[in-house]
Chain A
Amino acid sequence: MHNCNCENPLVPQIVEIVKIIDETPDVKTFHVRNENGVPFDVKPGQLAMVSLLPVGEGMFSVSWQEEKEHLQFAIRRVGLMTDELHSVGVGHKIGVRGPYGNGFPVEACQGKDMLFIAGGIGLAPLRSFIKYCLKHRSDYGKIQVLYGARSYADICFKDELFELWPKEKDTEVFTTLDRPEEGWNGHVGLIPSYLEELNPAPEGKVAVICGPPIMIKFALKSLEKMGYNDEQVITTLEMRMKCGIGKCGRCNIGSEYICLDGPVFNLAQLRKLPPEW
């Protein structure tokens, strides 16, 4: 069951922004905490509603919980609330409520080789799972991360992608840009085609995908072609959310609410739902 610490799940707790990292021109990572540390515990893949009280709320995946210290959110500037959020500084107080959603099946994936496929800001939700696997390294097999972005400037978490993760035991990172760019000597091409090029074998593997809907749809097709079965493929979806607790109605795909029953689904579950995302 869901453990929301606030008595009224629609009312946020006040936290402070203690650090802001500029990831890309339009993505920032915010570290938030209250005087005791994390406002609530979060499992990898769970979500929280970030509230700029006079402006609005937005649902974001928690891209990492640092012990009991703080929560990290990677947030792209794309609408009214995120616009304002990007203009506040360290020390500013905002609201958060959560945790929401089902999170990734971290236990069920133990012993498996992990293939993470992410596009753009889609790396933010997967990051919590990747870091979890790295933290409990011996519980998981080989780790491969395939990441694509529009341009070099749009790559999030550059430090982890290029410096930290490739140095981890039995961990590989593959990065691709949509288009050629001066100074970029890495792979150029869209994620689904790079995926088929790399052709990671499906045996004993779990593939976890996140990104824009169109990228997810094509990547799923590629994985099918490569022999992955429905139970081996997991994705995390996004819909417009307001309440975050499965009541306001708008985030449904069929009879499932993305904020409550999702956002993580395996392909077998997804196929049973109407193709409306």
Chain B
Amino acid sequence: MDITGKIREIAARLLQNGEVDLFMAWEKGDLPFQSKPFFARRVEDVERIIFDEYSIHNLSNALLKFRDRQEKIGLVVKGCDSRGVVRLLEDGQIERDRLYIVGVCCPGMKDPLQAMRDYSGFNRNPEAAPLAAKCENCIQPNPVIYDELLGEEQPPRVQGERFARVRELEQLSPDERYRFFEDILSRCIRCYACRQACVACNCRTCIFDETKPQWVGRETSISDNMMYHLVRASHMAGRCIECGECERVCPVNIPLMLINQKLIKDVDNFFGPYEAGMQYVEGAKPPLSVYQENDPDDFI
């Protein structure tokens, strides 16, 4: 049976015998490239569930909507999504026993947002590529936490050096680097979609919503924009699970993962070896959430 069939079977079983109140997966939209999140609540809903090459949306982020509620939730996760679940468990945002995790080894996804933009008439040059940009750098296509696993194990997809682009930027002079980031961050419209799409952004009151004091102003000046992205990235250091949703959803195409990857590389280098969300160990914390006396400090 294909993966869609297997997922439907599992969902139907879980909903039928009340093991879950809600099952999160994807359904098809009107167009072939439209796959979008879908929450099945009744056994009749199960026939809408699909899993295809456009099932890119990270469903672990949707768990945050239910963190204060009681529902038992089943969800389908790919490699990166499952690291998102570990992120939530480590951050104490949801209890493991509320979840039934169906893992699917991910063959790499295409981006429905890219495909939709090409289809829309707003794009002069087509964007859509054989694989979504975020999947090109994938180091973990296979789920790291699950109650059931589907699909064949996949090799990591990253070709060549994982941090090649980061190293390129590191070679630039400070002035050149500043100009590069000034260029890409000046177009930020402060829609905060990156924050909303991010599973690691799970603070109840986000630092950018605090008023006493207000840490970063809301103007779209280059200084406020830079502060926003730098502060957010710093909060991700050691916690970002590289699902790439922030960059994928950005309406003005800012290459956000570049900043996150720099921090992933640095955290691994200084506090590692460490990759966030690779396994769930109860009580484990990201490296920057714990102070060790022998933490490196020669860069201070």
Binding site for B on A (CB under 8 A): 56, 79-80, 83
Number of interface residues of B (CB under 8 A): 2
Shortest CB–CB separation between residue A25 and chain B, in angstroms? 19
* Contact partners of A56 in chain B: CB under 8 A: 211
Q: How far is the CA of A79 from the CA of B209 in the complex (A)?
A: 13
Q: Is B124 an interface residue (CB 8 A)?
A: no
* Contact partners of A83 in chain B: CB under 8 A: 212
- Residue of A56, A79, A80, A83 with most partner-chain B CB within 10 A: A80
Closest-by-CB residue of A relative to B212 is A80
Closest-by-CB residue of A relative to B210 is A80
* Contact partners of B211 in chain A: CB under 8 A: 56, 79-80
* Contact partners of B212 in chain A: CB under 8 A: 79-80, 83
Q: How far is the CA of A79 from the CA of B212 in the complex (A)?
A: 8
Shortest CB–CB separation between residue B206 and chain A, in angstroms? 16
Shortest CB–CB separation between residue A110 and chain B, in angstroms? 43
Closest-by-CB residue of A relative to B213 is A80
5 smallest A-B Cβ distances: which pairs?
A80-B211, A80-B212, A79-B211, A83-B212, A56-B211
Q: How far is the CA of A79 from the CA of B213 in the complex (A)?
A: 11
Closest-by-CB residue of A relative to B211 is A80
Shortest CB–CB separation between residue B209 and chain A, in angstroms? 12
Closest-by-CB residue of B relative to A83 is B212
Shortest CB–CB separation between residue B275 and chain A, in angstroms? 40
Shortest CB–CB separation between residue B208 and chain A, in angstroms? 15
Identify which of residues 228-283 in chain B touch chain A, using a CB-to-CB cut-off of 8 Å: none
Q: How far is the CA of A243 from the CA of B217 in the complex (A)?
A: 18
Q: How far is the CA of A225 from the CA of B212 in the complex (A)?
A: 44
Q: How far is the CA of A269 from the CA of B215 in the complex (A)?
A: 41
The contact string, 1 if C-beta is below 8 Å from chain A, for chain B 210-223, is 01100000000000
Shortest CB–CB separation between residue B12 and chain A, in angstroms? 36
The contact string, 1 if C-beta is below 8 Å from chain A, for chain B 181-225, is 000000000000000000000000000000110000000000000
* Contact partners of A80 in chain B: CB under 8 A: 211-212
Shortest CB–CB separation between residue A133 and chain B, in angstroms? 38
Shortest CB–CB separation between residue B215 and chain A, in angstroms? 13
Shortest CB–CB separation between residue A78 and chain B, in angstroms? 11
Q: How far is the CA of A83 from the CA of B211 in the complex (A)?
A: 12
Closest-by-CB residue of A relative to B214 is A80
Q: How far is the CA of A90 from the CA of B211 in the complex (A)?
A: 26
Q: How far is the CA of A83 from the CA of B213 in the complex (A)?
A: 12
Q: How far is the CA of A56 from the CA of B213 in the complex (A)?
A: 12
Q: How far is the CA of A149 from the CA of B211 in the complex (A)?
A: 28
The contact string, 1 if C-beta is below 8 Å from chain A, for chain B 1-35, is 00000000000000000000000000000000000
Q: How far is the CA of A79 from the CA of B214 in the complex (A)?
A: 12
A and B contact pairs by CB, cutoff 8 A, 5 listed: A56-B211, A79-B211, A79-B212, A80-B212, A83-B212
Shortest CB–CB separation between residue B272 and chain A, in angstroms? 40
Closest-by-CB residue of B relative to A84 is B212
Shortest CB–CB separation between residue A243 and chain B, in angstroms? 15
* Contact partners of A79 in chain B: CB under 8 A: 211-212
Closest-by-CB residue of B relative to A79 is B211
Identify which of residues 104-126 in chain B touch chain A, using a CB-to-CB cut-off of 8 Å: none
